[in-house]
Each structure stands twice: as structure tokens, then as C-alpha cells.
A and B are shown apart, each in its own frame.
Chain A
Amino acid sequence: MSKTSYATRAAITFVALGAVTTATHAADFDWKKFQGKTVTFLANNNPVSQALLTYKGDFEKLTGITLKVDGYQEQQMRQRLVTVMNARSDEVDVFMSLPSREGEQFAAAGWYADLSAFSKNEASKDYDLAGLSQALLKAATFGSKLTSMPMNIEGPILYYRTDIFKKCGVEQPATIKDVEAAAQKIKACDSTITPFVSRGLKPAVAYTFSNMLHNIGGSYMANGKSNLCSAKGKEALDTYSRLLRDYGPPGVVNYSFQQISALYRTGRAAMSFESSNELRTVMEGGERLKDTALVPFPAGDAGQVPTAIGWGMAVSAYSKQPDAAWYFVQWATSPEIQKRMAVQGIAPPRPAVANDPEYRKWIDEEPVRKQWQAALDVLATKGSSEVGYPIVANPESRDFIGQAVQDLILKQKTIDQACADADKGLDALIAQK
């Protein structure tokens, strides 16, 4: 026998062996392990879960698990979740959670099942744990517990009208000061348009304000105490409230995403600083499709530190079947499903998916989508998940931030007063450990 044929035969055997081994490993992951079981999913009825649930049938076919879905609007869902969890009920197996807001709170209450072991040892080969945004995974980790798997990435971005900018001779703002200068110019140039709109509703302010604070280089806490009265903190409070007070719409103190998107979409605002999720709403009717540009919020002294958060899928600590629940979670956050959700407009928390050719095709269809994705890329790489104070009482801390901003918008307090009052309350909150 010639040397080559020996080698060839050896090679072929080797390859064959390898193929068989891989096939066995792939077959190692038994999707049908929990066939016949029922998993209950409490969903926040937003576009993320709506996109996910269009493939519900695929999941049930793949695993033989029956999926029971209960969908509610965000605040209602949270109310229901809190009631179920306070009663330590096993009614809910999987639920959607927002780590940036309630992660620490729920983790302290012991409501999350720890997913670190599951995600490392009981995931199919295709799951690609490492492909998920590390920043988002870190934001979902409290103590050493991985509390949820990221479903999407989102954050506030600046939408602005290219046609109005052109008309008033304004360039794309590169810094926060540019934003204010642009607002001033637009106000002088066209008095029927609201130059700038963003959130003023008390519980909602922290979402957009945090971005500005971080861009300016401020921080919520320093040395274990509330830091709003620092120079940077005051600058952020001042700038944000001034933009809304002088260049925002009347009644901005009640504004959250609904009114902001409605105002921008009807063409009554030149700049809108609001969630990336609102793209679909803003584009409804097509009027804003061609005259809108999107960028992450312009840089401050500390550059661009955009806020990047994401919804996560969590398993209830009281669930009687966490492993079956995990199957749903891993399927829902797998590359394949997130790719399909991406084409429906849900920004994926996986950089690899963002580069997938099918998704790119969808993105390239409209210039505004390209900019949207570009902005989200920045969020994915440079983003911070800190919205409000990094303490257990995060939701309550947002109220203090909102109160300070509202005091300034309504001119009810001076900056020093507003930040001092906020700090006082926040210090008390931080001390409640």
C-alpha cells in the first residue's frame, strides 16, 4: 500500500470519527427532555415579547413543552409579578425583568433563580453564551448570581429633524453645548416648533437624565453618599432642566414616551431625546421617515457614555421546574431566535447577530434604520446600565432625581436647594441597607 493511501485512509477515519463524536455531542443536547411539561411565562406586552412570541409554536414543536403566556402592560405586569412573588407562589416559571430598575431589588428579595450554572452547563452548543453582550450580562449579575438572560438592547437616543436643522442653519450636534445652541437657534428661527423634548414625568426622568449625567462626567454616588450636589451633578441638573424649561413644550413635566413620540411624529418637535424602542411609533404613518436622523446623545466632558439597558428573561426562584423553564429561556435568547426578532425591529444584545447578513439587509432598506443600528452599536460598546442609583431602592431613587429636575423646570427651587433636598432624601435611602 502506498504511503498516501495509508495517510488518506487514516485521515478519513479520523474525520469520520470526529464527525461521529460531534454528532453524538450535538445529540447530547436533548431538546425533548421535558416533553409534556407546561411552562408559564409572565410577559411584559411590549414589542420585544410580541416579536418573541410569534415563534411560540416553534418552541413548542421543538421541545414538546406547552407554553402558557400571560401578557400585560409593563406596570400591570410588575404589579402581578410582585403579588405572585410576595405570596411565594409557583404560578409563574419565567418572567421578564428589567435589571437596571428592579434587578437589585428582586435579587435582594431572593426572587430570581440563579442562571449561571444553567447557562454554562445546560445550554446547547449553539447557545453561545459568550456571544451575549458582556455589559448586559454583568448588569444582570448581582452578588454572584446571574439573574436573567438579555433579550434586547435599548437606550435613549437623539432623534432630530434634518430638514429643520437645514432650514435654521444648524449642524448635527457633536456636544451637549451644541444641542443647546441648536435649540436656541431653532427657537429663534421657527417659533411654531418645539426645539427640544424629553422626559419630564417624575418617575420617568431618570432614564434620559442618567445619560446626560454620565456624558458630563457626573456620578450618582461618591464615597457611599449621594452626589447630585457635586459640580458635575449640578451641571447636569441645570442643563437638563434648562433644555426642557426654555426649549421644551408646555406641560413637559407630564411628558413620557407617549407624548414625546406623538409630538415628534406629528412634526411639532425638532429634537427628541427618547428611547430607541420608540422608532416604530415615531415612523408610523411615514411622515418622519425621510427627515429624521438618529444619534446617541452628544458627548459631554466625559465623552459619550450612553445608557444601554435591556429586558431579560428570568426564572422564578419559586418555580417548581426551573430546568424546564431554563429551556424556554435559552431558546428565547439563542442566536437563532434573536436573529429572527432582529428583523422584526428588536435590537439584539448579540453583536454577532447585528452583523448577520439578513439583518443587515433589513437595516439597509432605510437610512434611518442604518443610523438606528449605528447608534445602538455605540450603546452596545460604550453603554452604561446605570439608570438611577445603584442601590436596592433604585425605583424610589428615581423619584428623587425626577423631583429635583421638576423643581428646576417649574422654577420652584434654586439648583442648590433642589440638589440638596434630593441628596438628603437619597442619603437616607442609601443608608437603608
Chain B
Amino acid sequence: MASVANAARPDRQRAELAALSAPAVLFTLAMIAFPVVYTVWLGFHAFSSTERQSFVGLGNYSKLVADGEFWHGLWVTLALYALSLVLQLVLGIWLALLLFHAKRVPGFVRSLFISPFMMPPVVAGLMWLVILDPSIGAANYLLQAVGLPPSEWLASPIWVIPTVALIDTWQWAPYVALIVLGGLQSLPPSVYEAAQIDGASAYTTFRRITLPLLLPTIVTATILRSVDLLRFFDIIYITTQGGPGNASNTLNIYGFRVGFEFFNIGYASALMLTLTAVVFGAVLAFNRLRGAVAW
């Protein structure tokens, strides 16, 4: 092992590594610095169509804490998030395993399996709006054809959240599957060979070997889905606009309407920043988990 040559390495190494991540870091900072600062500044001001712009310190935030709509929105966001995440992880992993073992399926058919998330959200929303229409939609048509009672789907205050979770899962479980598939590809085959030699069953192989090795990938998928699910917007915007009543009013929808329809930009900024903090908290938590399982 070289010794003299290695002595000078650490500093040069550090510089190299910094240079490798510098473009990404600098680019991100350049793009988001002003928006974040500006939004924080706005959040400290009253700024709406009925109020003159004025500094109110934490006024918007105390309003937020007292706002029932905010807490309800938080509940809706978290409920939808938990339900969707679990469904998408479970079904996504299942789909990935299926595709991984189906080696003889042609590439184009595989890409069809992961195609739902390639559909633009506005199209997916409208499509499901029609399919799930209680009167003229195919979903109730099929339900009734097999003798089941029709459902109100998106129009039911109770079932709207599960229905939205279902739509989102249809669209994004394949996305999770794609990520997990990539992870499965990179698993060392040597481990499997050893397991086969030991006579392990498929199930045991999966539980004891595959799953633990896949955890880092699964956590990545969780993080990536979490940032999107906590900011749930598109499908709800197209289909129910937060309704019926407030049943599907996520924080993002609420903040959007406060800002762009009710013109209360100051309060909307406070709402958006609070939502960002929630997402940030989730990412930090999962990142710690990633550290635990990866290293």
C-alpha cells in the first residue's frame, strides 16, 4: 500500500468531492434562495385584496394555529398520505417482484406496466372523474354488473379520501415498482446463489435476503413519494376541488385557493411554509432511516 502518495490525498480528496457536488448545490441555491426568502417575507405581512400591505409579524401564523380549516387540512393531508404510501409501497414492491421474475416479457409490455405515472395528472384526473361518475361511469357499471351496490366514490365525504388514494395508487405504484426494480437489478447475484445452495425457499429468500438488501431502495422510494404525497394537489384539484365540503381539502389545495382565488397572499405564504416544514420533517425522519439501513 502506498504511503507517501496517500499522505497528500485527504485534502485533494475533500476538494474533489466538494467540486463534484458543487454544481448541484449552487444551482439549487441560486434557484430557490429568492423564492424562499420572498415567501418568508410575505408570510410576515398582511397582503390581500382587502388589506393594505403591512407588517404583522407572526400574525399570519397565529391565525393559522387558530384556523380550523388548517388543522382539518393537516388531518386530510396526513390521512391521505399514510393510506396512499402504504398502498403504493406494498403494491409497488409486489409489481416490481413480478416484473423482475418475468424475464421473458418484452420491453414494450414492461413499459406499459409502468405507464400510468407517465400520464399527465390532469388527464388522469379527468379520466377517473368520468370512470367514477356515480351515474354514467364505467366503475359503477361494472360493480352493478357483478351484483354489487354502486358507490358514490368521489362524492362521498367518507369515501373520497380512500378513492383518491386508490386513484393515486393506480398511478404511482408503478413508479415505486420502477424504482424498486432498479434496486433489484443491482443486487449481487452471488447472494442468491448462496441461498439456493442452502436450500432456502422462495419466501425465505425474499424475507431474509432480498427485502433487507432492498431497504435502501425502498426508503428512497418512500422519500420520493412522501414529498409528493404530502403536497397532494393535482387529482383533487381536477376532481373535487377539496370537496365534498372540506373532505378532501389538503393543505396544498387550501393554500392554493387562499392565494390564487381569495387573494390572501400573506396568509397563503404562511400556509405554504408550514406545509414545507411538515414535508421537511418527514424527509429528515426518513433520511435518518436511510442512514440506518444503508450503512
Contacts and interface: CB of A to CB of B under 8 A. Distances in A.
A432 B134 contact: no
B241 A201 contact: yes
Contacts of B260: 78-79, 82
A203 B241 contact: yes
A253 B244 contact: yes
A407 B136 CA distance: 24
B91 interface: no
B49 A254 contact: no
Contact of A105 (B150, B244, B263): B263
Contacts, number: 84
Contact of A249 (B135, B157, B242, B246): B135
Given A105-B49, A108-B49, A250 B135 contact: yes
Contact of A393 (B49, B156, B245): B49
4 nearest CB pairs, A to B: A251-B155, A251-B134, A250-B134, A253-B244
13 contacts: A78-B260, A202-B242, A250-B150, A251-B156, A253-B243, A254-B243, A393-B49, A393-B262, A396-B262, A403-B246, A406-B243, A406-B244, A410-B157
B153 interface: yes
Interface string A390-412: 00110110000001001100101
Nearest to B154: A254
B244 A202 contact: yes
B28 interface: no
Interface residues of A, number: 34
A263 interface: yes
A202 B245 contact: yes
Contacts of B263: 82, 105, 109
A264 to B, nearest CB: 11
Contacts of A56: none
Contacts of B239: 254
Contacts of B244: 202, 253-254, 406, 410
Interface in A52-100: 78-79, 82, 86
Nearest to A256: B241
Contacts of A417: none
Given A194-B135, A202-B243, A203-B241, 19 more contacts: A78-B260, A105-B263, A109-B49, A109-B263, A202-B242, A202-B244, A249-B135, A250-B155, A251-B133, A251-B156, A253-B245, A254-B154, A254-B240, A258-B129, A393-B50, A395-B261, A403-B245, A410-B245, A432-B50
A22 interface: no
A130 to B, nearest CB: 32
B193 interface: no
A249 B134 contact: yes
Interface in B129-168: 129-130, 133-136, 150, 152-157
A46 interface: no
A268 interface: yes
B265 interface: yes
Contacts of A266: 136
Contacts of A412: 157, 245
Contacts of A249: 134-135
Nearest to B246: A403
A37 B134 CA distance: 52
B152 to A, nearest CB: 5
A419 to B, nearest CB: 15
Nearest to A107: B49
B50 A433 contact: yes
B49 A263 contact: no
Contacts of A105: 49, 263
Contacts of B152: 250-251
Nearest to B239: A254
